[in-house]
Structure 1
């Protein structure tokens, strides 16, 4: 368990607790999907929205729900942090644990279907639906665009999520993917 991971997971928790009640429930996970679908303007009956809903349901069942150690149907920050450290300990499992949901999000963010996420698409989804400041969106996008092409391809997007969920480097490009984290050692 590292301090950097704890800060990143705390930042992710803030976004995942959609209703702001201090816990993540299956309803928050559903609302998260709806928030991203709505921000993107995708129809709730679209194939992408359907795949996202299924992917998030699997993410809840396989990753988040097992973190509920007291069985109350709610995952608080402590349970989530400890659960992520247990569940996401092995980066070689990324393709089973995070990859399918990441592909759904990629397809949802890539509105024009050109198989890359441009700066504006990134800003819309992480800024509007993810509550990340425009400045942070721009800085994160630039850091994640590893080849300098002006867009994130699927591999760069997966690399960012792999780095965010499994990495512990405070200077890694994806550290602030879901918003600026506090500096290590600073109060949050």
Structure 2
């Protein structure tokens, strides 16, 4: 784990602590998915919403909850950072650790269902839901659109998430995926 990863994880933590109480709880994780569902204008009882909610419940149960060292049902920044240090050691584990939730988010952010996330979709979801300012969204999107197509395909999106959680390159475009990381 590097200082850069600590900064990125801290940025992710601030976004995941939806209610701002200094902890990530199962309710925060549910609120994250509810925000995406609401911003998309999708009814909570649709298949997409159910898949996202199930994926986020799995993310809580399999990734976040095991970080709760003191068993109080909530994870603070220290517990989360130490937990990420323990579990995010090998990018080869991405398919089981993060890919299912990333697929759900991709489908949710792909508002028109064309299999790509264009800049407007990216900005709408990351600005209104994740609280990433619009100007940061535009810069991050441009950097992540590696082939210059004007849209992120599923592979580019997965590459960005992998780079965010596992990467150590201070110049990597995905460092700011969940908001500007200042070191």
CA distance in 2, matches of 1:173, 1:117: 16
Matches within 5 A, 1:51-90: 51-90=51-90
> 1:186 maps to which residue?
none
TM-aligned CA deviation for residue 87 of structure 1: 1.1
Match in the other structure for 1:29? 29
How far 1:14 moved relative to its partner? 0.4
For the pair 1:166 / 2:166, whether they are aligned, the reply is: yes
Distance in 2 between residues matched to 1:91 and 1:135, nearest whole Å: 30
Whole-Å Cα distance in 1 between the matches of residues 105 and 42 of structure 2? Answer: 12
Q: CA deviation at 1:169?
A: 1.1
> In 2, Cα distance between the equivalents of 1:40 and 1:4?
32
Q: Are residue 127 (structure 1) and residue 105 (structure 2) matched? A: no
1:140 aligns with 2:140: yes
Q: Deviations over 1:103-148 (max 9, x none)?
A: 0000000011110000000000100001001110000000000100
| TM-score, length-scaled by structure 2 | 0.99
Rounded to whole Å, the distance in 2 between the matches of 1:85 and 1:41 is 36
Matched, 1:94 2:94: yes
- Cα deviation for residue 39 of structure 1 reads 1.0
Q: Cα deviations across residues 26-72 of structure 1 (Å, max 9, x unaligned)?
A: 00000010011111111111111100001001111110000000000
RMSD of equivalent CA atoms = 0.6
For 1:81 and 1:41, the matched residues in 2 are separated by 33
Per-residue CA deviations over 1:57-99 (Å, capped at 9, x if unaligned) read 1111110000000000010000001101111111001011100
Unaligned runs of 5+ in 1: 184-188
List 4+ stretches of structure 1 deviating above 6 A: none
CA distance in 1, matches of 2:166, 2:53: 23
Other-structure match for 1:154: 154
The structural deviation recorded for 1:3 is 0.4
What SS does the aligned partner of 1:114 have? coil
Q: Secondary structure at the match of 1:117?
A: strand
What is the CA distance between 1:2 and its match in structure 2?
0.3
Question: What secondary structure does 1:100 align onto?
Answer: helix
